[in-house]
Amino acid sequence: MKKAIFLDRDGVINKDVGLLYKKKDVKILPNVIKALKKLKEKDYLIVVITNQPVIARGLITEKRLIELNNFLNSLIENLIDEFYFCPHHPNANLEIYRRICECRKPAPGLILRAAKDLDIDLTKSWMIGDMPSDIVSGKSAGLKTILIESEKNKKVIETGKKWDIEESDYKSKNLLDALKYIK
Ligand SMILES: [Zn+2]
């Protein structure tokens, strides 16, 4: 079995610009390539786990989202092994995506699906994200977790109304900084 680092996308790999559906809005954060290379050297698979309500809103199709993810990956030397995304939303504009699913974070569905597909040992794997929903989904799947703290997520975390917040195992400033916790 393999070990993996599960990563949230926006706010961890690229700048969180809100609703991202255009290539020109993909801005890679500093030191991401360096961090991903270090994780590869430690034999971790890199798997992105991301909610994509932009699909449920009808701003982008699944096909285009896959193209956008591939574009993002090309900017970071294709260091990401797989992307898993949830296209659903309880209040989706598009009816086919309107439901309460098992894969939208904070649910752990995407992580569990990836673990099955890719033969990942969850007990040796980590979730790194910048939102409480990342931490909750990681913990629910049995992962060790690291919360990346930023100005953007500060409010969500402090008010804590939206999620039933569980504490992450560790906290860091960015992806490269998070590596100090990972053997
Ligand atoms: Zn879903």
pTM above threshold 0.85: yes
155-171 burial, b if ≥16 CB within 10 A, otherwise e?
A: ebbeeeeebebeebbbb
**For residue 128, how far is its CA from the centre of ligand 1 (angstroms)?**
19
DSSP letter, residue 123: G
Active site (annotated) includes residue 43: no
**For residue 183, how far is its CA from the centre of ligand 1 (angstroms)?**
32
Per-residue confidence (pLDDT) for residue 172, from 0 to 100: 94
Per-residue confidence (pLDDT) for residue 11, from 0 to 100: 93
**For residue 103, how far is its CA from the centre of ligand 1 (angstroms)?**
4
Q: Which of 10, 25, 43, 117 is catalytic?
A: 10
Give the pLDDT band of residue 87 (cuts 50, 70, 90). very high
Cα separation, 133 vs 153, in Å, equals 11
* Closest among 52, 58, 51 to 96, alpha carbons compared: 58
Give the pLDDT band of residue 52 (cuts 50, 70, 90). very high
Per-residue confidence (pLDDT) for residue 150, from 0 to 100: 77
Active site (annotated) includes residue 119: no
Mean pLDDT of 111-120: 98
Q: Which of 8, 25, 43, 169 is catalytic?
A: 8
Residue 27 has pLDDT above 70, yes or no: yes
Mean pLDDT of 30-44: 98
**For residue 41, how far is its CA from the centre of ligand 1 (angstroms)?**
32
Mean pLDDT of 40-46: 98
Per-residue confidence (pLDDT) for residue 161, from 0 to 100: 59
All residues at 6 or more sequence positions from 167 whose CB lies less than 8 Å from its CB, including other chains: 135
What percentage of the chain reaches a pLDDT higher than 90? Answer: 87
| pLDDT, tens digit (0-9, with 9 covering 90-100), for 146-173 | 999 877 777 777 776 555 566 899 999 9
Residue 5 has pLDDT above 70, yes or no: yes
Cα separation, 46 vs 44, in Å, equals 6
- Assign domain 3-181 to its CATH superfamily: HAD superfamily/HAD-like (3.40.50.1000)
Handedness of CA 172, 173, 176, 180 (dihedral sign): negative
Handedness of CA 108, 109, 114, 116 (dihedral sign): positive
**For residue 10, how far is its CA from the centre of ligand 1 (angstroms)?**
17
**For residue 36, how far is its CA from the centre of ligand 1 (angstroms)?**
26
**For residue 4, how far is its CA from the centre of ligand 1 (angstroms)?**
21
Per-residue confidence (pLDDT) for residue 151, from 0 to 100: 72
Cα separation, 54 vs 17, in Å, equals 12
